[in-house]
Structures are given as C-alpha cells and as structure tokens.
Amino acid sequence: MEAVLYGKAVHVHGVTDFFSDHVFDCGQAFRWKQGEKGYTAVVDSKVIRASYDTEKQILVLENCSLDDYHGFWRNYFDLDRDYGQVKKDLSSDPVMKEAVAYGWGMRVLNQDPWETLISFIISANNNITRIKGIIDKLSARFGKEIVWEGKSYYSFPTPESLAAADDSALKECGCGYRGRYIKNTADMVARGLVSPYEIRELPYEEAHKEVQKFTGVGDKVADCILLYSMGKAEAFPVDVWVKRVMEYFYIGHPVPIKEIKSIAAKQFGRYAGLAQQYLFYYAREKKIGK
C-alpha cells in the first residue's frame, strides 16, 4: 500500500478486498451517503468522500491530507488487516464461503466509540432507514455545521449537547422512547462517570459488561459497539437477521440468542465479528429465512 497526495485527495494504491457498497451498506455505519463521485460522510468532524477504483485497486479519499490518512483513515478503513487471509480462513466452511463470495468487499470500520454508542442505542427495535434519518436530524440540530463544496454538513453531536437537549427536540428528531436513553447516556459521558474511550482499552468480556451500564445498551447493542468501534473482532452481534441466517444454515431450528453466540464463537473463532458481517449482508440482501 502506498499513499500519494494529489491536490486535496489521497490516493491509496494497492488496496484490495474493498467494495464501497459492501463497506458502507452493511449496517455498521449510518452516515455515509452515496453520490455520483463516491460515498460522502462526516467522520470525526471532517467531511470526507471515498471512492474505490476496482480495476486500479486505488482508494481515493477526497478532502484528506497525508497526515490525516496515516493518523486516522488508514485505521478507520481497517486497511492494515489482511482481508484476503480472513476470507480464506472463513471459507473452509461452505456457508461462509458463499457469504464471503457475495460480500467480498466488506470491511469492518473502526469508528468513534461515542458516536457508535449513541447510534446503536438508536438502532434498538429499529430499521436502518429510520436509524439514518434520526442520526441525520440529530446532527443537523445538535451538531456543528461544516461547509464543503458549497454544501452544508453536520458533525455528530457532542455528549454535552445531547445531555442538554430538550425532550421535545429529541422527539422531533424521531428518537421515540429512545430519547430518554440517549439523554441518560450522554449525561453519563458528559459528566465523565463512564468513558467509552476507556472501555475500548478493556478486553472483550469486561468491555461487554461495562458498556451495558449505559441506558439502552443490552447484549446485542454492546456487541455492535465493541465490534464497530472498539476493535473487538470476536464480538458477534445477533440481531433478527443473524439469528435467522444462523438457524437456517447451521442449526436447523430456533434457539436462544445465547446459544447462537456460543455456536458462532466455536465455528468462527477470533474473527466471529467479521463472519457476522458477511452473514448479515448475505442474509439481508437475499432475504434468507423470510
């Protein structure tokens, strides 16, 4: 991999196992929007546009410096993980082989723990379209405006701004009963009672327990936060889709979520979270079990 600066864009040469639709539309991130020139998002209070040239194997990051790339985006896009090897390892199992072939360009992003915490509290009992809408409204209302190419974008709200939010404003953003959970959680973080950044440093089991101290975070949401923002590749979030696909292909009948997690841990090992990501995309696109 070699990163080269062209004007205000970084071109990363030699990136493999990358396909934008798989990366940005597999349910892990909610702020990336597809446009003519690529996918655009606000991440870490910066607007970024990403596009990938499959033929030349170049990842183009617009509005990005070389320092930004090495200091942030390289890790954000998980570019130092050998997905070729991961996919090879997972493909010894015929079901995973099929799922991996289908979502071949998926990568698990390393996102911000605070943003991921709130985003997945919103995700509970909710669907992706609605989650995206709620996060957009919250950002427009409580985030900071950033203008790029003549367009307005909004950063993800800070803990302080959400802790101070009116109940009615959260309701208008479509949070529903989750507004209370968001405020409670934001308040805990703003007061420094629990830090998502400190939780990130803990091993899986402890982090899984700690993150559930936030209101609105249960077993599944905890696993999402650990996998998508705390570098825990063994975390295996079981939502209805993953439950269905696991029962359909591996078990044959309905079982409790706890059992699905332990079967997955045995079957997929330390990459269970990456396996989950391929399975989720496969199950949802193919409507397995529906």
Partner DNA sequence: AAACAGGAACCAC
Partner DNA sequence: GTGGTTCCTGTT
Q: Which residues are near DNA by CB under 7 A? A: 123-127, 129-130, 133, 171, 174-177, 181, 212, 215-222, 239-241, 256
- Residue 196 beta carbon to DNA: minimum distance, rounded to whole angstroms: 15
Residue whose structure tokens are 């790029």: 148
**Joined tokens for residue 217:** 């975070």
Q: 9 or 169, CB closer to DNA?
A: 169
- Residue 174 beta carbon to DNA: minimum distance, rounded to whole angstroms: 5
Cα atoms found within 13 Å of the Cα of residue 5, Cβ hemisphere only = 10
| Cα separation values, 289 from 27, 246, 251, 258, 272, Å | 18, 10, 13, 19, 21
- Residue 143 beta carbon to DNA: minimum distance, rounded to whole angstroms: 19
- Residue 173 beta carbon to DNA: minimum distance, rounded to whole angstroms: 9
- Residue 211 beta carbon to DNA: minimum distance, rounded to whole angstroms: 10
**Joined tokens for residue 165:** 């939010």
Q: 71 or 218, CB closer to DNA?
A: 218
Look at residue 234 and give its three-state secondary structure. Answer: coil
Question: Following DSSP, what letter does each residue of 237-258 receive, concatenated?
Answer: ---HHHHHHHIIIIISS---HH
Distance (Å, whole) CA 276 – CA 14: 26
Distance (Å, whole) CA 257 – CA 276: 14
